[in-house]
Structure 1
């Protein structure tokens, strides 16, 4: 994947990657914030438009389906424009998606879904480029550690978003008594997303002016040889990414509704939104700790351990009640901490010059965030909210298998 237009790599860049890593981290924070805001948007739109769980999950379906549909075109776009201009393009596309929330408040739920797809398309362009770029900024053996660090700042964005959205959006959600005025309440999203559009445009300007180093290890060449999906760590890793993102997003999407259940906590939506921040905050704290731990712990073993803990916590939430169920489900966030960067780097291990292609496949697998919440929404409408959490539980069961299968440390890339 071609990143910069400069034909040569500056010698000083190889010695110090701190500055470019810090700059890229800004992207991780921003798309974490935008993604986690969906957890606030779902209960708000569900109340405004009187949706079923399945209909409300169209928010995540439209958002995460962009990863599947846009990843390959995004890869071509980044190869054509270069890394830096590709980032600028992604930020501007995301800004357009946020700006479309303003007319969506007047024209209805379907326009919100279109705006979400465009927003996610911009984020996809950023994902396709940024994740392999971070893995290339240093030795292959510490790639999981670097990606865990940047993902920690992604989690900082996901932690801030629910609390902020709870104040700006959910505090104006309609009650059962005034749902006739629901369409008017949709306007609560206009100013927050307009502000985000301006922030993304400003960030695009920053990336248009700053210079980032080229990474020759991650060029745009397409490698020769067997189809990539015959590389089993990548093939199984893509499925693991699909299920991990699906499970993580699904829990976040239903958490406000779960905490509103009388046999759990009986919280209103605005109060429950603060606890969603704890869910994402657990992932943030775990990633900062994981940045150090992953330098000494085998990635596969760490992944398997976290997946096993997540399975136990989800089982407690699905079968339990009260505070036990509440804090068990929130605690899954801590288990999620190292999963995405660990799976991503394990799946790319050994691909060499084809890492860019592998990254595109893994980013397509993020479509799990569209499919798994949809499946849980269907089960929630049929069997109830508690039992619907068996869907993400099954997702973590496969991640446990993947971690155990590749528990041995890989050789140098």
Structure 2
């Protein structure tokens, strides 16, 4: 419906912005459905924490391998084409869940997740830098934080879909499974595996319909400017970025931040069940939902605070608090540790967009586009550190696995401190 009193030009500018912001919602849902899948596949395929963590490894490996091709594609064909191609991959990956469940093949599920992540790499590579260019440079960090505030809404939707349409609420103990007949046990595993079919079929259809809607929408042509220049000088741009210690610092900070975020969320359900015996996966998911609500509130609160506090100082404060919270979860397992992990999400809220914006701050259009792809590649941290947490849990305990995100937040704190120091030196 056209906006009352809006001109045709204003309407054409408004609709693309709404569609771009919607992408933050769509990939938020996909990201956090993985947290449900880890618990679901652990149950359906009888996996160790390490093997269950391969859900995130396959997912974020897609980001790592496809981010740079996505950046090249975006520079060649523009933001709109990259978004449509990403949505097509996202939809295809979701539809692959049907045959994966029908065949009860864990490897095919991992491949489907890889395809979804490949699509999301296109979406994130194009949407994040686009938002930073939609206004004055001085407010780019705050603007990206505001756009990213809609991401947790998708995350919450993803958890609710998993909680009510994938989790059965029936969790069998090892003793109960051993007491079942082979036929009953096989039927139980098959039922738990097939639970993902319909939710992902609906998701796939919705995403593909959204791609069609974007195809039919006219986007500003200015977003694809400088394409030929970037392609011709890509090598020089890459050398400048990789030779810049501040940009490399942003890449390291993003790698460890994403690893911490994905690790905390991926294992929240497992943490609750491991430290609060008798809690079902459906009930444990409430803690994750609460964390995502905190994350969403933190996004809006962080955006408001940036009007009065420099983003880098806010990043330092939030990283410090999260080091304390994750260490508390390590040494105080149980309900209080679980609440600490829930609270941790509030203080994670500003980290990704703030590190991203600081990484591309003050750079040319060429460097911004290529730098965006490099920063998206660092999302591989979600694969590496989540698998590491699973290995620590298998060798020790799920509570001790939270040492990994605690160390990761320390890296983010170091990055923020260095950027703050450079800023003060620049002012002197």
TM-score normalised by length of structure 2: 0.89
Unaligned runs of 5+ in 2: 1-7, 178-184
Distance change >3 Å, CA 255–CA 218, structure 1 → 2: farther
2:174 is the counterpart of 1:162: no
Q: Structure 1 residue 17: deviation in Å?
A: 6.5
2:223 is the counterpart of 1:211: no
Following the alignment from structure 1 to structure 2, what is the Cα–Cα distance between the partners of residues 343 and 321?
A: 30
Please show how residues 151-190 of structure 1 align to structure 2 within 5 Å. 151-171=148-168, 174-176=171-173, 177-178=176-177, 179-180=185-186, 181-190=188-197
2:63 is the counterpart of 1:50: no
- Alignment deviations for residues 202-247 of structure 1 (CA, whole Å, 9 cap, x no partner): 1101111112224469743335465311122211101111111110
Please tell me whether the aligned partners of residues 260 and 267 of structure 1 are also in contact (alpha carbons under 8 angstroms). yes
Please tell me whether the aligned partners of residues 58 and 111 of structure 2 are also in contact (alpha carbons under 8 angstroms). yes
Aligned match of 2:417: 404
Aligned match of 2:381: 368
- Alignment deviations for residues 150-206 of structure 1 (CA, whole Å, 9 cap, x no partner): 111011111221122111111255523354331332000000000000110111011
Aligned match of 1:306: 318
Please show how residues 206-355 of structure 1 align to structure 2 within 5 Å. 206-215=213-222, 219-220=226-227, 221-222=229-230, 224=236, 226-261=239-274, 263-264=275-276, 266-353=278-365, 354-355=367-368
Question: Could you tell me which of 63, 88, 107 is aligned with 1:67?
Answer: 63
Unaligned runs of 5+ in 1: 1-10
Aligned match of 1:387: 400
Please tell me whether the aligned partners of residues 219 and 356 of structure 1 are also in contact (alpha carbons under 8 angstroms). no
- Alignment deviations for residues 86-108 of structure 1 (CA, whole Å, 9 cap, x no partner): 21111011100000000000221
Following the alignment from structure 2 to structure 1, what is the Cα–Cα distance between the partners of residues 218 and 256?
A: 36
2:29 is the counterpart of 1:33: yes
Please tell me whether the aligned partners of residues 298 and 349 of structure 2 are also in contact (alpha carbons under 8 angstroms). yes
Following the alignment from structure 1 to structure 2, what is the Cα–Cα distance between the partners of residues 357 and 145?
A: 21
Q: Structure 1 residue 292: deviation in Å?
A: 2.1
Following the alignment from structure 1 to structure 2, what is the Cα–Cα distance between the partners of residues 320 and 172?
A: 27
Please tell me whether the aligned partners of residues 243 and 396 of structure 1 are also in contact (alpha carbons under 8 angstroms). yes
Q: Secondary structure at the match of 2:267?
A: helix
Q: Structure 1 residue 323: deviation in Å?
A: 2.6
Q: Structure 1 residue 296: deviation in Å?
A: 2.8
Following the alignment from structure 2 to structure 1, what is the Cα–Cα distance between the partners of residues 138 and 12?
A: 17
Q: Structure 1 residue 80: deviation in Å?
A: 2.8
Following the alignment from structure 2 to structure 1, what is the Cα–Cα distance between the partners of residues 129 and 172?
A: 45
Distance change >3 Å, CA 156–CA 340, structure 1 → 2: same
Q: Structure 1 residue 369: deviation in Å?
A: 0.7
Following the alignment from structure 2 to structure 1, what is the Cα–Cα distance between the partners of residues 171 and 194?
A: 12
Please tell me whether the aligned partners of residues 136 and 217 of structure 1 are also in contact (alpha carbons under 8 angstroms). no
- Alignment deviations for residues 45-74 of structure 1 (CA, whole Å, 9 cap, x no partner): 001110000000110000001111001111
- Alignment deviations for residues 346-402 of structure 1 (CA, whole Å, 9 cap, x no partner): 011122121001001001001111100001111111111111110111000010111
Aligned match of 1:8: none
Following the alignment from structure 2 to structure 1, what is the Cα–Cα distance between the partners of residues 21 and 393?
A: 36
Following the alignment from structure 2 to structure 1, what is the Cα–Cα distance between the partners of residues 150 and 60?
A: 20
Question: Could you tell me which of 106, 111, 114 is aligned with 1:114?
Answer: 111
Please tell me whether the aligned partners of residues 279 and 334 of structure 1 are also in contact (alpha carbons under 8 angstroms). yes
The answer to which of 114-123 and 19-28 deviates more is: 19-28
- Alignment deviations for residues 221-275 of structure 1 (CA, whole Å, 9 cap, x no partner): 33546531112221110111111111000011110011112x4474210111122
Following the alignment from structure 1 to structure 2, what is the Cα–Cα distance between the partners of residues 330 and 199?
A: 30
Question: Could you tell me which of 150, 160, 176 is aligned with 2:147?
Answer: 150
Aligned match of 2:369: 356
Please tell me whether the aligned partners of residues 256 and 273 of structure 1 are also in contact (alpha carbons under 8 angstroms). yes
Following the alignment from structure 2 to structure 1, what is the Cα–Cα distance between the partners of residues 277 and 211?
A: 42
Following the alignment from structure 2 to structure 1, what is the Cα–Cα distance between the partners of residues 135 and 276?
A: 46
| Rg larger for | 2
